Amino acid sequence: MRALKNAAEMIESACFLNGVKKDQVTLHSDNGGPMKGATMLATLQRLGVAPSFSRPSVSNDNPFSESLFKTMKYCPSFPERCFASLEEAKAWVEKFVKWYNEIHLHSGINFVTPASKHQGLDKAILAKRRATYERARKRNPNRWSRDVRNWSHIEVVELNPGRLKKELRNQIAA
């Protein structure tokens, strides 16, 4: 029962700390008890966070979390042995999350960090990167077979791109 309360408190805290407004985010999770429990669902409803669940027996419904887990497992600092204690595990995960959010460049957001995107710094980073590529192309145009890489700002990151638009079209057509 305590795990259910902890999960709900964590979500509430995360929403508060990040200024999440009602109907702004969807929380995708597995079908585990803490995520489907009445305490969690009531908390999500009160916060205006839409719950989303994996289909039963489907382990890869959430490509974002699957990608996170793969990055974690292949991280050079991932331990080769079991953690000696819960404190050691927590300390490693804390360092990993900091690296993942503040240092690791993510391809889905055009190779910026989640922290820079969250803080709105990604537009300037991507503009500077594009300018660097353009200067390199002008200095040596023969090295470029086509235009420079698209360093556009990624406005929205979606779990299932276009799905909401399709659902809206279906609702309107019905």
Note the pLDDT of residue 123.
96
Would the pLDDT of 60 be above 70?
no
pLDDT-based confidence at residue 165 (cuts at 50, 70, 90): low
Note the pLDDT of residue 66.
72
Would the pLDDT of 167 be above 90?
no
- Give the Cα-Cα-Cα angle 158, 164, 169 (nearest 5 degrees): 150
Which residue reads 């300037």 in tokens?
Answer: 124
Note the pLDDT of residue 166.
63
Q: How far apart are CA 72 and CA 169, in angstroms?
A: 38
Owning domain of residue 29: 1-59
Structural domain contains residue 46: yes
Note the pLDDT of residue 171.
62
pLDDT digits (tens, 9 = 90+) for 96-143: 999 999 999 998 899 999 999 999 999 999 999 999 999 999 999 999
107, 116, 137, 144 from 126: Cα distances, Å: 13, 11, 16, 19
Structural domain contains residue 52: yes
- Model confidence pTM above 0.75: no
- Split into its structural domains, the chain has a count of 1
Structural domain contains residue 139: no
Structural domain contains residue 3: yes
CATH number where 6 lies:
3.30.420.10
